[in-house]
Amino acid sequence: MAYTPPPRDPKAAPVRINLLSDTQTRPTPAMREAMARAEVGDEQIGDDPTVNLLCERVADLLGKEAAVFMPSGTMCNVAATLVHCRSGDEILAHETAHLIAREGGAHAALGGFQITPLAGADGQFAAETLRKALHPRTRYQPPQTLVSVEQTANIGGGTIWKKAALDEVAQIAKAAGLATHMDGARLLNATVATGIAAHDMTQGWDSAWIDFSKGLGAPIGGVLAGSAAFIDEVWRWKQRLGGSMRQAGICAAACIHALDHHVDRLADDHANARALARGLSQINGITVQEPETNLVFFTPDGAGIPADKMVAELHKRGVLIAVMDGRIRACTHLDVTTAMIEEMIGHVREIVRTA
């Protein structure tokens, strides 16, 4: 059976406003220059100075002993669970977690793990929900070895786990002998929005990573951090998964550039997300979830327009956007301007008016 094609009808208008994902950013000229200037070596043998510098900086940022550069965030999640768990183990994560629904079944296929989906509003589960899902070690139940959270929670609406909630969940997990993992694909969005340092958010979490190919604007890469012993084991899986690289400093230089120039500006993406939500919520029949960061989820059901139809109409007008788990998700990022947000609101208003 063929896989679903990309979300855009190729006959639709050229894309002028790309709200599909924060992965859609293109490297800026300054980032490309930094990449061209990068000092490089053989990453696989630890010999690439730019990769090494990036890993030191992310380990420091996340308050961990060591870190490793990975080709993608998905590989960060996969290598982490492969180190934390053994075949037959149980992982607990929110029911909308990326590692359940969007990693090609990697955790089952490669690790033989089962993931228990925890319910909860906005992509987050309550400490009490975790407590109730825990069971004692018995002969007939799968060993529970890992709790994972997403900061921010993507499908939950880009929502931010409160520090107190993170601390409580980590404490419950630890008390039950479980390891803790934070999928920090958009962790820096959370730190910029709250002013809480990344290392404070990751305190109590054995492993955590950040993605550079999202709002930070780099072409590829995630960096996974943890204890030195954990990262040593991650390296074995990185090699097994075919993720060891060579002159990867070219890409690491883009990530370092992003750390230096693209973190504080995430606040602009959040402001654009708020402006988009405000504008959309003023249109009759559009229901919008109030954004906490750079993701805006909305539904046009109240206007009698199915989400798919709204998306197709927007594609015709040069806006690339998609339906995600029943709602339309708009992502603001480096390549989305305030003028584009205003134009997008105008398109939605017009589509509703002429429906």
Ligand X SMILES: Cc1ncc(COP(=O)(O)O)c(C=O)c1O
Q: Are strands 144-150 and 179-184 parallel, antiparallel or unpaired?
A: parallel
Query: Does the footprint of ligand X cover residue 72 (CB under 6 A)?
Result: yes
Give Cα 352 distance to the centre of its chain.
Answer: 31
Do residues 228 and 206 lie in contact, with contact meaning Cβ atoms separated by under 8 Å? no
Nearer to ligand X, 145 or 189 (CB): 189
Contact region with ligand X (CB under 6 A), list: 12-20, 72-80, 174-182, 275-283? 72-80
Query: Does the footprint of ligand X cover residue 215 (CB under 6 A)?
Result: no
Binding mask 225-254 for ligand X (x = CB under 6 A): ------------------------------
Query: Does the footprint of ligand X cover residue 213 (CB under 6 A)?
Result: yes
Do residues 61 and 112 lie in contact, with contact meaning Cβ atoms separated by under 8 Å? no
Nearer to ligand X, 80 or 341 (CB): 80
- Position among 67, 130, 179, 185 found at the interface with ligand X (CB under 6 A): 185
- Position among 18, 25, 50, 74 found at the interface with ligand X (CB under 6 A): 74
Residue nearest ligand X, CB atom distance: 73
Contact region with ligand X (CB under 6 A), list: 43-51, 55-63, 71-79, 229-237? 71-79
- Position among 183, 206, 269, 313 found at the interface with ligand X (CB under 6 A): 183
Q: In angstroms, what is the minimal distance from the CB of 168 to ligand X? A: 21
Kindly tell me the burial class for residue 85, based on how many C-beta atoms sit within 10 Å of its own C-beta (0-12, 13-18, 19 or more).
buried
Q: In angstroms, what is the minimal distance from the CB of 67 to ligand X? A: 16
Nearer to ligand X, 153 or 310 (CB): 153
Give Cα 314 distance to the centre of its chain.
Answer: 25
Binding site for ligand X (CB under 6 A): 23, 72-74, 77, 98, 150, 154, 183, 185, 211, 213, 222
